[in-house]
Structure 1
Amino acid sequence: MRVVAGERKGMPLKAVTGTTTRPTTDKVKESIFNIIGPFFDGGIALDLFAGSGGLGIECLSRGAEKAIFVEKDGRAYQTLQENIKKCRYEEVTELFKTDATRAVKGLLKREIQIDYLFVDPPYRKTEYYNLVLTLAEAGKLAEDAIIVCESSDEFKLLESYGSFSLSRQEAYGGTIISIYRKLI
């Protein structure tokens, strides 16, 4: 695993040992960012189920101003911390070692607008996709926010979450990447 593009291009990232997490491959990560706009001019990223942090770190490398990472697994959280330190992103990140539902409840209490939302829960935990709707209904997603959901091809995601509709879907083996935007 590595940072694919931007200011930290080529920086190797440590993967989480064991089978508790499923990292997004470099190929899929590159495809995601080619679709959502390869580079950004600021904005806040929220990487729920962050694992080793590959998506949020990639977002920072490509120009996001801040990233919030949520990861409850102890080994994954430790790897996430190491990757953020290695990339020298400590000053522009927030890390939460907690369940995604609890983290979202905390975010609902803050004055925040999320520009890039990455949701990649364990494939059998489909109830976690409801957190997208929770954030959308609470007005925590920016008007032009981009939502990226990674899921198993065995599960069909909704066509919309609040006013954010499915704009593109790509299959990579048994993985489906679904991208949602507000239709204007």
Structure 2
Amino acid sequence: MVTNMRIISGSCKGRKLKAVPGKSTRPTTDKMKETIFNWIGPYFSGGSCLDLYAGSGGVGLEALSRGMDFVIFVDNNKNAIQTIKANVSLCGMEDKCEIYNNDSERALKAVIKRHLQFDLIFLDPPYKRQKLKALIEMIAEKSLVTESGCIICEHDPEVALPETIGDLIRVKSANYGLSSLSMFINEEKEEER
């Protein structure tokens, strides 16, 4: 159980965050956050982010602290929603966030209706109910990631994600014992590298 949650870097560096009460969520460790932001670049000059299984909101708030303009937080756990609201308030980021109590598929459908695209999408579903491939297929099919954007998935190491899903290609992965990370970007972007 992670008890010391904080913002690692940026405008809110060192800010302590609340954890979601109970054992229903699994906070992303500082080590994993460091890996994520080393992969995608430590700081941003704007952009938008979708944190689809937000839990405490720690990863999305880290992105805001590092220069992202806007984050939509989604979780279907009421305790998580209250915790996200508290953490957003602790960081003074209310004007840069939307917070929704919803399941992932309904949330994606709402985002599609609004014709939104994101520079960064975090997917960290409960390990026992992972439908990552289907979610990434929906994101790819509806072009929810900007051309230069990416998807970061935190998942059970036993979940084998394919190398390509639609126009998205897996470019990085790392294993942390009980958790793994995978990063997908647009295939055209990978060809330009």
TM-score per shorter chain, which class? over 0.9
1:91 to 90, 95, 101: 95
2:142 corresponds to: 138
Structure 2 stretches of 5 or more lacking a match? none
Matched residues in 1 for 2:58 and 2:164: separation? 25
Q: After TM superposition, where is structure 1 displaced by more than 3 Å over at least 4 residues in a row?
A: none
| Root-mean-square deviation over aligned CA pairs | 1.0
Q: How does 1:1-184 map to 2 (within 5 A)?
A: 1-182=5-186, 183-184=190-191
The letter of the residue matching 1:15 is: A
Matched residues in 2 for 1:20 and 1:12: separation? 20
Q: How much has 1:31 moved relative to structure 2?
A: 1.5
The letter of the residue matching 2:73 is: F
Q: How much has 1:128 moved relative to structure 2?
A: 4.3
| 1:62-96 deviation line (CA, Å, top 9, x unaligned) | 11100000011011111111000110110010111
Checking the alignment, whether the CA contact within 8 Å between 2:51 and 2:57 is kept in structure 1 is yes
Q: How much has 1:134 moved relative to structure 2?
A: 0.8
Checking the alignment, whether the CA contact within 8 Å between 1:60 and 1:66 is kept in structure 2 is yes
Structure-2-length-normalised TM-score: 0.92
Checking the alignment, whether the CA contact within 8 Å between 2:46 and 2:67 is kept in structure 1 is yes
Q: Secondary structure at the match of 1:131?
A: helix
Identity between Structure 1 and Structure 2 (%)? 43
Checking the alignment, whether the CA contact within 8 Å between 2:133 and 2:165 is kept in structure 1 is no
Q: How much has 1:26 moved relative to structure 2?
A: 1.2
Structure 1 stretches of 5 or more lacking a match? none
The letter of the residue matching 1:5 is: S
Q: Which moved further from structure 2: 89-98 or 154-163?
A: 154-163
